[in-house]
Structure 1
C-alpha cells in the first residue's frame, strides 16, 4: 500500500482490463452521454476555518503546521483510515491552500471513499495550482473512469503521458481507455439486431443438449438432476423441459466445491441462472413480502464478490429455507474476485427457495459497471462470453425493490431499548398499526411525490434493461443520503444526495417505517441516518482488502422490530480484488 505521496503510476501493482478488449465490439455498453453532475462540497468537505490560534501563525509556521498535517494524513492513508486522512489533508488545505499536493492527496482519499465527484474537484484544483502535476491529472482520470466517463479521462491520461514520456504503464492505460471509448461509441452507433436474447439461446442449447454444454468426462463435482422427467408442471423446482431441478444437497456440495477453488461446468451455471430467472420474471418491480408469525427476514447489503465473507455471513444468518427469508440488496458482483461464485450461490438459493430468497438489483448488476469493475472479465475467464451475456440478461430481470410488511402490530416504542432510533420508537405506521420497510439498493428520488404505485409501474426491461441516466430507476440504484436538508449532487459524481426532510416526506407519504438501503461502505457495517428513517447495510467486511470496515446484516421480525448484527472479515485465498480485470492495460486506475 502506498501513501498519496507515492507516484500512482509507479506504485500501482495491478492492471485493469476493460472486460477483455479482444472482443471489444461483441457486447453492448450504454454510453455515458453527458459529463457527470459534480457536487458542491458540503460543510464536512470544506477546509475548516482557521482558528484564532492558527490565524496568528506566521507564514512559515503555517507552512510547517500544514506539512505536519500532510505527514499525518499520509500515515492515516497507509492505515486505510481514508476518512481520517481526508480530514488531515483538509486541515492542511485550510492552513495553506496554495499547495497542490494537499488537494491531490485529498483527491486520493476521495477515490478510496468512492467520492469520485469530489475527487474530480480536488484534482482539478491541484491542476489549477500546478499545470504540470502528473499525479493530479492521473487521479482526475481515475475518478472519471470510475464514473464510466472515459471521454473525460482520456485527455488527462494523455497529459500524464506527455509529462512522463518513459512511463510504459501510462501508455498502456491510454491504449486501454481509448479502446473503451471506441467500444462505447461503436455500440452506441450500431443498430440493435432483433433476435433471441442470450438467455433464450442458452435455453435452446440446453434443450437440444448440444455438445457445447456437455459435462466433461471425469467431472467429480456436484451434479444437478437432469432429464426429460423435469418438465414444467411436474416438479415445482423445474425450469422447463430437459433443464433439471435443484435441491439443497446440490447447493451444499457446490459451496464446498467453490471453497476449494473449483468451477462448475458451464451447463450447470446456465441451469442455475435460468432457474432463478424464471422466478424473477414472475416478480414485479417491487416484491411484496409479509414476515410470517414466528419468522424473520435478514436484509443483506453489498457482498461484491467476497465469497468467503459471504459464507461466513450465511453461517450467521442461516441459509434460506421455507421458514427463513434472506434478501440480498444488490451489488453481489464486481471488485471481489469470486463474483461468479457469489452470484451463482445466491441464484441457486433463489431457484430452490423462490418465496424466501430475494435479490434486488444494484448499480453493479449492470453491464456498464461489469465492464469496468471486473465481473465481465472474471466471467469470461471462468466460463465464456456467452455465459456473461446470460448473466447480463438475468440481471435485467431482477426486481428493483422489496416491500417488507410485518404481520403483527408494532411493539410500543416505550418497550424498545433506549438506544433505538426515533424511527423505531416513534414509527410511521401502515394501516392497522403495522410497520413496513422499503428495501432498495440506492435510495430515494430526485423528485417529490413518488409513490409505491409509481415505482411498480417502472418497466425495468425498457431500453434493453440497462438503467437510464435519470429517473426513478436511476435513483433507486444510485442515490445516497446526505446530512443537509434538500437535494444535492452526490459526492460520488453520479446521482443525487437526499436529505432528512426528503426522507421524512417520502416515508410519510407512503406509510413506510424506514428505508433499508446499501450502496455505501459503513465502518460498522451499518448506519442509521435521518433519525433512523434511512438504514444503510453494507455486508462486505474489509472491503476490497483495504477498508478495515465491518460487515453487517439487519434482521426484521414479525412485528417489524429490527436489529443489526456485525461481523468481521475472514481469510481468503491469496487472490487480490479485481484479479481478473487486472490482467489488461489499465494499471492501478481503479481502487
Structure 2
C-alpha cells in the first residue's frame, strides 16, 4: 500500500524495513532526492512542496534512521520554527471552531473528519493520500490524540502542524486527552521526544506541551455536525448566594456546586479555559475535561464517568437533547479504540474503525477511530487487527457521513516502544488523578 508520498523512495530504504532501528544503528545513506536535513524556507513561508518533502523524509527516516539521529533529519531549529508558527495560529482560534465549507458557493467542498491516529505515521500518510490532501475544496478536521502509544508521535504531530501552517483555514486540529502532560508522561510521547532530541529533548517536549495548550476543543461543521474528542459536557453555572444588607462595596459570593448534572451550552464551551495541560476533575473549569474524556452510555441521563475518573457518561436522551437544542444532525467523537470497546457491553466493537452508538429522532452519535491494527505494541499474541476509518461529509447538508475504512500499512518498521505497554494502564482507565495534578504543577 502507498505510504502517502509521491517521491521515489531511496533504494536503501527498503533494506531497513523490519529492522530494529533503536538497537541497530545504521549509517545513513545519501538521501537522494530527499532533502536531509530539512531546512526552513529562506522567506519563512511553507508551501505544499515543503510538506510533501517533510512527509517523504519522515517516511524514509522511520525505516532507515535510528531515533537518536532524528536531529540529522529535522534539526531542532527547524522544529522550533514549525511549532512556533503553528502555535501562533492555534492559540488564536476559539474553543469551538465554526467551519463553514459552503461559504464559497462557487466550490463544492467536502470535509474529511479523522479520529485518533496515535503516532501511527505510516497509516496517517496513507489516510492523507487515500482521502486526498487538504485543498481549497477539501477541509480536514482531526479529532485529537496525535501522540502516545505509537512510535512516531513526534513525526505525526509535526506533519499535521505543517498542514495547519500552510492551510490554516482548511486544516483544523482539535485536542485529544493524550495532548496532555499526564498522558504523554505515561504512554510514551515524552520519552519519545527525549530519545529523538537528546540534550534538546526537554526543550522540544516543553514546546510540544505549549502547543497542546493552544489546540481547540471542538468544532461545528456547516452548522450541522459537532465534533470533539470525547464528546458532550456539563453546564457549569454559579448560583449567587445572598449578601448581607447595608454594606458598601460588598462582593457577591457564588455557589459553584450544581445540584444536578445538566448538559452545557455552546456559549459555556466558548468561555471555558482550555489552556491547561491537565484538565481538572473538580472545581469550576470542568468543561475541557468533559470534552476530552467523556464517553457515551446506553443508560439515559448524565453521570460521572467513574471508569475513567474524569468526564461524563451520557445517554441517548442527552444526545437527542444536544442535537435538538443546537439544531444539529450528527455528533462525531473519537477517544475509544478496540481495547476500550472490548470492555463496553452494549456497544459495537471497532473492527471497521467506527461505530454508530446512538440513533435518535434528531440524528446520530458516531465514534470514529483512525488508527488501524491498534495499539502498535500489544502484550498479547492475538492482536485486535481493527481497521481505521475516516468520514467524508459532502454538500449540500454535510450531515450524511460516508465511512471509509482502511487497513494498516504493513509491515511496520520494527522499533522499541517508548512506554511499558505490558504493565501500562489499559484504555486510559483507572487514572492516577494525584499524578495528573503533580505532572500539571511540574509543567507549570
User: Taking structure 2 as the reference length, what is the TM-score of the superposition?
Assistant: 0.69
Q: 1:538 aligns with which of 345, 361, 369?
A: 369
Structure (1/2) with the larger helix percentage: 1
Q: Give the number of the structure whose residues are more often strand, by fraction.
A: 2
Q: Which residue of 2 aligns with 1:291?
A: 101
Distance 1:281 1:493 in 2: 28
Q: In the aligned structure 2, how far is the partner of 1:272 from the partner of 1:534?
A: 35
| Cα distance, 1:318 vs structure 2 | 1.1
Contact residue 298 and residue 554 of structure 1 kept, 8 A: yes
Match of 1:448 in 2: 262
* Aligned match of 2:224: 436
- How big is the alpha-carbon RMSD for the aligned residues of Structure 1 and Structure 2? 1.8
Number of residue pairs the alignment of both structures matches = 322
Deviation readout 1:451-489 (Å, 9 max, x if unpaired): 11111111212xx44311142111100000111111344
| Structure 2 Cα separation of the partners of residues 574 and 221 of structure 1 | 21
Give the Cα separation in 2 of the matches to 1:457 and 1:554: 29
Which residue of the partner structure matches residue 388 of structure 2? 551
Secondary structure of the structure 1 residue equivalent to 2:215: coil
The runs of at least 4 aligned residues of structure 1 exceeding 4 Å deviation read: none
Distance 1:548 1:529 in 2: 21
C-alpha separation between the residues in 2 aligned to 1:483 and 1:381?
Answer: 43
Is 1:364 equivalent to 2:178 in the alignment? yes
Query: Secondary structure at 1:581's aligned position in 2?
Result: coil
Of 419, 423, 428, which aligns to 1:581? 419
Residue aligning to 1:482: 297
Question: CA contact under 8 A between 2:225 and 2:329: conserved in structure 1?
Answer: yes
Please tell me whether the aligned partners of residues 308 and 572 of structure 1 are also in contact (alpha carbons under 8 angstroms).
no
Shift of 1:319: 1.3
CA distance in structure 2 between the aligned counterparts of 1:567 and 1:454, rounded to whole angstroms:
37
Deviation at 1:223, TM superposition (A): 2.1
Does 2:288 correspond to 1:473? yes
TM-score for both structures, normalised by structure 1: 0.52
Offset at residue 398 of structure 1 (A): 0.5
Given the alignment of the two structures, is residue 268 of structure 1 paired with residue 83 of structure 2, yes or no? Answer: no
SS in 2 for 1:543: coil
**2:353–2:388: 8 Å Cα contact kept in structure 1?**
yes
Equivalent pair of 2:38/2:78 in contact (CA under 8 Å): no
Task: Provide, for residues 62-113 of structure 1, a one-character-per-residue CA deviation record: whole Å limited to 9, x for no partner.
Answer: xxxxxxxxxxxxxxxxxxxxxxxxxxxxxxxxxxxxxxxxxxxxxxxxxxxx
Structure number with larger C-alpha Rg: 1
Which residue of 1 is the match for residue 38 of structure 2? 222
Where do 5+ consecutive residues of structure 2 fail to align? 1-34, 235-260, 338-349, 377-382, 427-444
Aligned equivalents of 1:448, 1:494: Cα separation in 2: 16
Matches within 5 A, 1:103-118: none
Question: Matched residues in 2 for 1:496 and 1:455: separation?
Answer: 15
Please give the alpha-carbon distance, in whole angstroms, between the structure 2 residues aligned to 1:381 and 1:265: 14
